[in-house]
Amino acid sequence: MDDRLLLIAIGALVGVCSGLAAVALNTGLHFMAGALSGLRAHWWLFVLPGIGAMLSSLFLEKAIREGAGHGVPEVVYSVSRHGGLMRLRSAFSRLISSCLTIGSGGSAGPEAPVVMSGASIGSNVAQFFSLNERQRIALVGCGSAGALAAIFNAPIAGLVFTIEIIVGEWSARNIVPIAVASVAGAQVSRLLQGNQIAFTHLRFEVGITATLAAIGLAVVTALVSIALTRALRGSHHVSGKLPLPFWVRAFLGGCVVGAIGLVLPEVLGEGYHSIRQMVEGSFAPGLGLVFLLVAAKIAATSFTLGWGGSGGIFAPCLVIGSFSGLMYHRFLEMLWPGLSLVNEGCFALLGMAGLVSGILQAPLTGIFLIVEITGGYETILPLILVSALSTTICHAWEPASFYFRDLVEKGQYLRPRTDAKVLADLSIAELVETDCKTVPRSMRLGEFIRVIQQSHRNYFPVVDPETGQFEGMIHLDDIRPYLFDPLLYETVFLEQIMETDVETVDIHDELSVVLARMDAKGLFSMPVVSADRFIGMISKATLLDKYRNELMVQTLH
Amino acid sequence: MEMQMLHIFRNTPLGREMLLQSAYFCKQLEILPLIYIPDYVKFLMYFENDVVQVDLDASYLKAPDSAKAHASEIIQGMGLPQPRFFTPKHFTASTLPDLPVDFDFMCCPRSISDLSSKIGLGYIGPRVRRIVKSARFPVLIPSAVYKPWTSIAVLFGGSSNAVKALRLGIRLSRRCGLPLDVFSHPENRSQKDYENIIQEAGLKDDFDNYVRTWRISESRPFQENLYEIPHDALLVLGAYGHGLIKELLFGSTMEIVQTVTPNSMLIVGPNYRAVI
């Protein structure tokens, strides 16, 4: 079978499995919501989100032994650095842990966990069939797209999110299987849960005034996105400094969320009920309370995810975005009571798109997600405007999106065909030149000149012949002053003229770091030294050759 | 380039015993030990087509202050230079470091993923099995107590992995100058079949030059034949020669051999690429 057809067929299978994972999580969340709904009336049950978050963290750390994280950055890391290799346990671990966190009232979403689950399914199917790295990455994308398409019943959003966030490469080779997987995932969801859109489709008549007003909303959603990003990071930072076991931190964070929920129950769980009310225009609380809800939801999400709960940022973004849109609309109406704006439900939608685009810095995902989950194209013009502007403003303040910031800081955000990716795929061991002639420090200059005559290199490493220890380097320039004085040939020893303060490279160093050091010091080659032993030389010329080869490999396949 | 052996060090009496074995292995083969002192109880190894999570028990985190000094002392006491300590640079999650897999050898205790009480009870941890299966390097599974080996023994059953093991055994013998013995237990093959396999693998000349004795015992059960292997030999064998069903029913050769023999074992997996 043709490779592409095979990949499409396996992609469809992965899409179905990811869709089933998404349906399983949805069913679990509905079950939890039903089981716990009767208990919400008791004030002392503010500890419920705490218990959920604690169980979730214990499950991840002790039962599954999986390092906890938001999920999506781990998938991106795996694609960037390890060709999409993921552990099998990730296929189900986040489903269970996020079900515990969200079902008990934690402020988080099920989308990142299903994306991780789907990606892991794709990766493990690829491992089972022993597919190559590029095919494996495509299947990771298939899993992610199928899962997201199923959880939102939004196949285009699944495809676009995967290409924008997970794979990072718009190529037909990736898009086709991912699109098929996205369809398969959405179809599974429709078969098992019905063809429902998440939020009621309403016809909004969007005029020029509303479109212009959307510019202001973009600024508001961008600012809220930045506030949410920083609150999440700050919360994670603060909780990490507390001298408490991880499960106690998760419990405390959950309890804070529960306490906020006693006053403002809208912040609990994924919060889709509130969004439905806002889109339909039946959300009663006034401007002040909506403003408070934005702040409370940001706090609740930060305490849930930053303190050890499990879940994604997508659903909180939708909720906070719709609150922001509503708040902005009501603020405008308060300022200009006669202003003829579209229904506030439309601004709730625009706010969702603005926040998703701002946090993820992925405008297309924001646009298509909102179009699909509301089932209408009427708002497309202000949607594009809000998404594009919100992304741009956020990018100016926060150069990397919420998902990528940690990866960028660690130099792990590597996209196909970029300089960083090509360099990361090469290792020092591949580039090291071992045909160097080493010399001892006790060698006389005359003897050394005979060595030079037999070599085509300009650099000569000085190595202890007994221990193999690297001691320094001699460059041809170093001996130039002595070359034309034969009297010195028998009186000058290499130890007198060698350079001992030499910049060296370790065999396990990152190539990008080595290249930066070469550039900073104006060097064209450096000795590679491991455990004090000289291994060989690494030069910019060889690096360029290998770089071009690697770039061709990445471009052709 | 200098070859390197990865050793995950545990600063306990048993852990130091294991390091002693690695140090001896490195000394015999003139390779450099690379020691990883874990800061976390788990780590990941990304192979070509598999990712293996190794879950260590808490004893690996014991006495971190003296771990480096103890490890250095053991390595240098064996006459080797100051060891190199490995520090992970990449993390899949904040408490989940990634270990590179481009080493030439790796030392795994009998069980790397389960309780230390299981060590020495003839149980090879599932993670070690996956490492062996995926790695390009051979895995050293040391005996329970330090014992210098004075010869090399290869278990040769004719499978492709056994051929790899034989090739490695010959190379080890050439490198460290120790005699090489080959042990075969024919199941459905004659000696002539084995000779053909060796011939086809291009090992005929090396086999004739380096192999001291070749013992083929077919009259006794496999386990009993293992007693013929010298107790002070480094045992080299291929893994995954059996089918899955057979392995599930009767256990793997690797585990049978480990249960019966007291030797340190060097296991060659299906993805092994010769480096020596």
The torsion angles phi and psi of B31, rounded to 5 degrees, stand at -120, 165
The torsion angles phi and psi of A307, rounded to 5 degrees, stand at -105, 5
Binary contact (A127, B50; C-beta < 8 A): yes
Please count the other Cβ atoms lying within 10 Å of the Cβ belonging to residue A38.
8
Q: Are A188 and A153 in contact (CB under 8 A)?
A: no
Separation CA A304–CA A308 (nearest Å): 7
Nearest chain B Cα distance for residue A161, angstroms: 22
| Model pLDDT, residue B75 | 94
Residues constituting chain A? 557
Q: Do B84 and A89 touch (CB under 8 A)?
A: no
Residues of B in contact with A429 (CB under 8 A): 1, 102
Q: Could you tell me if residue B146 is inside a domain?
A: no
**Per the structure block, which two tokens stand in for A229?**
């990003």
Among B86, B111, B141, which residue terminates a domain?
A: B141
| B65 reaches A (C-beta below 8 A) | no
**Residue B225: strand, helix, or coil:** helix
- The pLDDT value given to residue B276: 55
Q: Residue B116: pLDDT above 60?
A: no
The chain-wide mean pLDDT, for chain B, equals: 84
| B64–A contact, CB cutoff 8 A | no
Q: Quickly tell me which residue has 């497309």 as its tokens.
A: A380
Q: Which of B21, B190, B195, B42 is nearest to B106 (CA)?
A: B21
Q: Which residues of A touch B55 (CB under 8 A)?
A: 65
Beta strand residue intervals within A133-190, DSSP E: none
- B266 - beta bridge partners? B140, B236
**Which of B84, B95, B98 is nearest residue A531 as measured by Cβ atoms?**
B84
Last residue of a domain, one of B141, B169, B189: B141
Return the pLDDT at A126: 95
Question: Which residues from B are below 8 Å from A65, CB to CB?
Answer: 42, 53, 55
Across the interface, whether the CB atoms of B49 and A69 are under 8 A apart is answered no
Give the closest-approach CA distance of A240 to chain B in angstroms. 11
User: How close A407 gets to chain B, by Cα (Å)?
Assistant: 10
Q: Is the CB of residue A158 less than 8 Å from the CB of residue A359?
A: no
CA gap A183, B163 in Å, rounded? 48
Q: Distance from B121 to chain A by nearest Cα, in Å?
A: 25
Q: CB-based contact (8 Å) between B87 and chain A?
A: no
Burial B154-164 (b: 16+ CB within 10 A, else e): bbbbbbebbbb
Please answer yes or no on whether A82 and B51 come within 8 Å at the CB atom. Answer: yes
Amino acid at A128: F
For B:134-193, CB contacts with A below 8 A are none
Q: How many domains does chain B have?
A: 2
Give dist(CA B170, CA B180) in Å, integer: 7
Residues B135 and B155 both lie in one domain: no
- From the number of C-beta atoms within 10 Å of its C-beta (0-12, 13-18, 19+), residue B180 rates as buried
Which of B244-252's residues contact partners 24+ apart within 8 Å by CB, and which partners? B252/B124, B252/B129
- Cβ contact A348:A237 at 8 Å: no
Clarify whether residues B133 and B158 are in a common domain.
no
Query: Can you tell me the mean pLDDT for B242-267?
Result: 69
Task: State how far the Cα of A72 lies from the Cα of A67, in Å rounded to an integer.
Answer: 13
User: What sign does the CA torsion over B48, B50, B53, B54 have?
Assistant: negative
Question: Which residue type sits at A534?
Answer: F
Q: What is the DSSP string of A17-46?
A: HHHHHHHHHHHHHHHHHHHHHTTTT-GGGG
Q: Looking at the domain A3-193, which fold is it?
A: Clc chloride channel (1.10.3080)
Structure tokens at A524: 């064209």
- The DSSP output letter for A60 is I
- Written as one string, the DSSP assignment of A364-427 is HHHHHHHHHHHT--TTHHHHHHHHHHHHHHHHHH-SS-TTTHHHHHTT----TTSHHHHHHTS-
What is the residue whose two structure tokens read 């130890």?
A: A495
Do both B34 and B94 map to the same domain? yes
Q: Is the Cβ pair A65, B100 closer than 8 Å?
A: no
Residue B56 belongs to a domain:
yes
Chain A residues whose CB is inside 8 A of the B35 CB are none
CA distance A432 to A417: 23
Burial class (CB in 10 A: 0-12, 13-18, 19+), B169: buried
In a domain, B211, yes or no: yes
CB contact under 8 A, B46 and A82: yes
For residue A530, give the nearest of B46, B84, B95 by CB distance.
Answer: B84
Placement of tokens 């439900």 in the chain: A345
**Same structural domain, B159 and B96:** no
**Residue from A88, A125, A127 whose CB has the most chain B CBs within 10 Å, to mutate:** A127
Residues B143/B24, Cβ–Cβ less than 8 Å = no
Looking at the complex, does the CB of residue B81 fall below 8 Å from at least one CB of chain A? yes
- Contact at CB, B102 and A533, closer than 8 angstroms: no
Residue closest to A497 by CA, chosen among A509, A507, A485: A485
Quick check: is B275 in a domain? Answer: no
> Which residue has better confidence, A125 or B274?
A125
pLDDT score for B114? 57
What are φ and ψ of residue A502, in 5° steps?
A: -110, 140
Same domain, B15 and B133: yes
Cβ atoms B59, B15 nearer than 8 A: yes
Residues, chain B: 276
pLDDT for the residue numbered A58: 92
Nearest CA in chain B to A132: B49
Cβ pair B53:A87 closer than 8 A = yes
Bridge partners (DSSP) of residue B262 are none
Cβ(A255)–Cβ(A49) below 8 Å: yes
CA distance B41 to chain A (A): 9
| Check whether domain A419-556 has CATH 2.40.30.10, yes or no | no
Nearest-by-CA chain A residue for B99: A508
Closest to B170 (Cα-Cα) out of B206, B202, B217: B206
Residue B273 belongs to a domain: no
pLDDT in tens, A105-160: 889 988 889 999 999 999 999 999 999 988 999 999 999 999 999 998 899 999 99
Measured CA to CA, the distance from residue A99 to residue A94 in angstroms comes to 8
**Chains A and B: how many Cβ contacts under 8 Å?**
69
Residue in A with minimal Cα distance to B113 = A65
Residues of A in contact with B102 (CB under 8 A): 427, 429
Residues of chain A whose beta carbon is less than 8 angstroms from a beta carbon of chain B are 65-69, 74, 77-78, 81-82, 85-87, 89, 127, 130, 410, 412, 427, 429, 432, 434, 467, 507-508, 510, 530-533, 535-536
Query: Same structural domain for residues B114 and B11?
Result: yes
Q: Report yes or no on B182 lying in a domain.
A: yes
Asked if B84 has any chain A CB less than 8 Å from its own CB, the reply is yes
pTM as predicted: 0.85
> For residue A265, what is the DSSP state?
G
Q: Give the pairing type, strands B96-99 and B42-46.
A: parallel
| Helix, strand or coil, per DSSP, at residue A109 | strand
Report chain B residues whose CB lies below 8 A from the CB of A467: 81
The strand ranges marked E within A494-552 are: 525-530, 533-539
Cβ contact B42–A85 (<8 Å):
no
Cβ separation B2–A530 shorter than 8 A: yes
Select from A65, A67, A432 the Cβ nearest to the Cβ of B92.
A67
What percent of the residues of chain B are helix, what percent strand, and what percent coil, each to the nearest 5? 35, 20, 40
Chain B CB contacts of A139 below 8 Å: none
Is any Cβ of chain A less than 8 angstroms from the Cβ of B3?
A: no
Mutation for testing the B interface, residue in A57, A61, A85, A407 having most B CBs under 10 Å: A85
**Pairwise CB contact (< 8 Å): B1 & A508:** no
How large is the C-alpha radius of gyration of chain A? 29
Q: The domain containing residue B42 runs over which residues?
A: 4-141
Name the phi and psi angles at B200, rounded to 5: -65, -30
Supply the pLDDT for residue B275: 59
Superfamily of domain A208-246+256-410: Clc chloride channel (1.10.3080.10)
Given a cut of 50, whether residue B250 has pLDDT beyond it is no
Cα–Cα distances in angstroms (integers) from residue A279 to residues A103, A221, B262, in the given order: 23, 17, 73
Interchain contact, A65 vs B2, CB within 8 Å: no
Q: Cα(A456)–Cα(A460) distance, rounded to whole angstroms?
A: 11
Instruction: Compare CB distances from B94 to A67, A432, A507 and report the shortest one's residue.
Output: A67
d(CA A488, CA A448): 12
Of residues B189 and B270, more confidently modeled: B270
Tokens 């399914």, located at residue: A121
Residue B120 clears pLDDT 50, i.e. is over it: no
What is the distance in angstroms between the Cα of A209 and the nearest Cα belonging to chain B?
Answer: 47
A67 vs B50, B82, B96: nearest CB = B96
pLDDT digits (tens, 9 = 90+) for B3-42: 889 999 999 988 899 999 999 999 999 898 999 999 998 8
How far is it, in rounded angstroms, from Cα A117 to Cα A311?
12
Q: Mean pLDDT, consecutive 10-residue segments, chain A of 557 residues?
A: 87 96 92 78 80 92 78 90 91 91 89 93 94 92 95 92 89 90 94 76 76 91 94 91 90 93 86 83 83 93 91 91 92 80 82 92 89 80 92 91 83 78 82 86 88 83 85 85 79 86 85 87 86 84 84 71
Tell me whether strands A470-475 and A459-463 are parallel, antiparallel or unpaired.
antiparallel
Of A53, A44, A102, A101, the closest CA to residue A245 belongs to A53
Q: What is the mean pLDDT of residues B191-212?
A: 88
Cβ-Cβ contacts under 8 Å, A69 against chain B: 93-94
Radius of gyration of chain B (CA): 18
What's the CA gap between A503 and A526, in Å, rounded?
7
Rounded Cα distance, B231 and B261, in Å: 7
Choice among A38-42, B56-60, B172-176, B268-272 with the minimum mean pLDDT: A38-42
Please tell me whether residues B119 and B173 are part of one structural domain. no
Contacts of B75 in chain A (CB under 8 A): none
* Sign for the pseudo-dihedral over CA of A205, A210, A215, A219: negative
Question: In chain A, where are the structural domains located?
Answer: 3-193, 208-246+256-410, 419-556
**Partner residue opposite A74 with nearest CB, options B4, B32, B93:** B93
Inspect the interface and report whether the beta carbons of A67 and B93 lie closer than 8 Å: yes
Residue carrying the six token digits 């030389």: A537
Listed in sequence order, the residues at least 6 apart from B35 whose beta carbon sits closer than 8 Å to its beta carbon are: B7, B8, B9, B19, B71, B75, B83, B84, B85, B86
Same domain, B61 and B109: yes
Chain A residue with minimum CA distance to B34? A531
Please tell me whether residues B116 and B97 are part of one structural domain: yes
